[in-house]
Amino acid sequence: MKPQKIVILGTGGTIAGRAAAASDNIGYTAAQVGIDQLVADIPALAEGGPVTTEQLAQIDSKDMSFAVWTQLALRVSELLAQPEVQGIVITHGTDTLEETAWFLQAACSPAKPVVLTCAMRPASALVPDGPQNVLDAVAVARHAGAQGVVAVCAGTIHGAHDVQKVHTYQLNAFGSGDAGPIGYVEEGRLRLLRNWPLAKAERAQEAIKKIADLGNEGDWPRVEIVMNYAGASGAMVEALQAQGVRGLVVATTGNGTLHHALEAALLKAQAAGVRVVRATRCLNGQVLAKPGDAIPDSQGLSPVKARVALMLDLLS
Ligand code: SIN
């Protein structure tokens, strides 16, 4: 059987970054090298079958926007519908990779693999990590039975639900918390430890339609994140409520705990119609629901992903 096509969508990031000196791994500008060039520099990519590229955006992912998310969701769902496309690889900055991964999983819930990959060193580095990450990502996208949105970095496959950037500069910068990774890419072969993310085609079509209908950035429901900490108050919640915020995710301490002043403001906002969700600022574990909880929990999503989920929920 003829191998199917893998489409690589470039969005920028450190993987496409350039520094003035090859020895400089941190003083670079992200999003400088085009996706065609990045792929041309990895001749081994062509060995497994056809690979095509598209430059969807060229940004530092700290500046990720709803406009780029909309473009990504629509293009990903268009490509996935093409029978000749086996899977999609997206090159992305590491800083907001986990948010885009969860956004695409929640919006598209794909039955084919959508693999986000990245680099911690710029393309101009003496020893860049991007080329191996792209090669590994394509191996995942070509794997029979792979599905859903995953992230591949440093030979590790993380599911969209659990992946989180956990280190500021090391090459193995991502973790999956206590859920653990989906598996590893070892010399082009996959060693799988658990299931792929779930595919939910019907829900996906609904979400994509809602996203396509959004006219501009301002139409996205405004959801902000507030945090609990020693001496927290309700001031941020009150200010955001006065600005018409539609949803609030609170990064609680521990197992969903809140300073009484912040809790009072959140309950007041909730009673006034603002959707409020509790996530935890702890790196591992999740908020465990108790009978009588006044504020719902994030079902194991981190604060930034709970925000994405709440925005999509408010869209529908
Ligand atoms: C970015 O997120 O675009 C820059 C940082 C990185 O990719 O590591």
Contact between 287 and 253 under an 8 Å Cβ cutoff? The reply is no
CA 55 to ligand 1 centroid distance, Å: 16
* Residues carrying CATH 3.40.50.40, the chain: 221-315
**Rounded-to-5 percentages of helix, strand, coil across the chain:** 35, 25, 40
CA angle 247, 249, 252 (to 5 degrees): 155
* Whole-number pLDDT of residue 1: 64
Domain 5-192: give its CATH architecture: 3-Layer(aba) Sandwich (3.40)
Which residue among 32, 58, 95 is best mutated to probe the pocket of ligand 1, counting the most ligand atoms within 8 A of its Cβ? 95
Buried b (16+ CB within 10 A) or exposed e, 277-299: bbbbebeeebbeeeeeeebebbe
* Whole-number pLDDT of residue 2: 67
CA–CA gap between residue 278 and residue 293 (Å, rounded): 10
* Residues carrying CATH 3.40.50.1170, the chain: 5-192
Helix 235-242 and helix 260-271: axis angle, to 10°? 20
- Rg (C-alpha) for the chain, rounded Å, is 20
HEC secondary structure over 149-187: EEEEECCEEEECCCCEECCCCCCCCEECHHHCCCEEEEC
95 lines ligand 1 (CB under 6 A): yes
Q: What is the pLDDT along the chain (316 residues), one digit of tens a residue?
A: 667 999 999 999 999 999 999 999 999 999 999 999 999 999 999 899 999 999 999 999 999 999 999 999 999 999 999 999 999 999 999 999 999 999 999 999 999 999 999 999 999 999 999 999 999 999 999 999 999 999 999 999 999 999 999 999 999 999 999 999 999 999 999 999 999 999 987 777 788 888 988 877 778 999 999 999 999 999 999 999 999 999 999 999 999 999 999 999 999 999 999 999 999 999 999 999 999 999 999 999 999 999 999 999 999 8
Contact between 160 and 105 under an 8 Å Cβ cutoff? The reply is yes
161: left (phi over 0), alpha (psi -120 to 50) or beta: alpha
Residue whose CA is at the smallest distance from ligand 1 atom 7:
93
Q: Residue 162: exposed, middle, or buried by beta-carbon count in 10 A (0-12, 13-18, 19+)?
A: buried
Q: Which residue has the tokens 């009072």?
A: 264
* Whole-number pLDDT of residue 144: 97
Helix 201-213 and helix 97-108: axis angle, to 10°? 110
Each residue of 148-166: pLDDT tens digit?
999 999 999 999 999 999 9
Contact between 151 and 123 under an 8 Å Cβ cutoff? The reply is no
Protein fold of 221-315: Rossmann fold (3.40.50)
Task: Give catalytic status of residue 52 as yes or no.
Answer: no
120 lines ligand 1 (CB under 6 A): yes
How many C-beta neighbours within 10 Å does residue 267 have?
A: 16
Cα→Cα distances 114→18, 27, 68, 71, Å: 26, 30, 16, 15
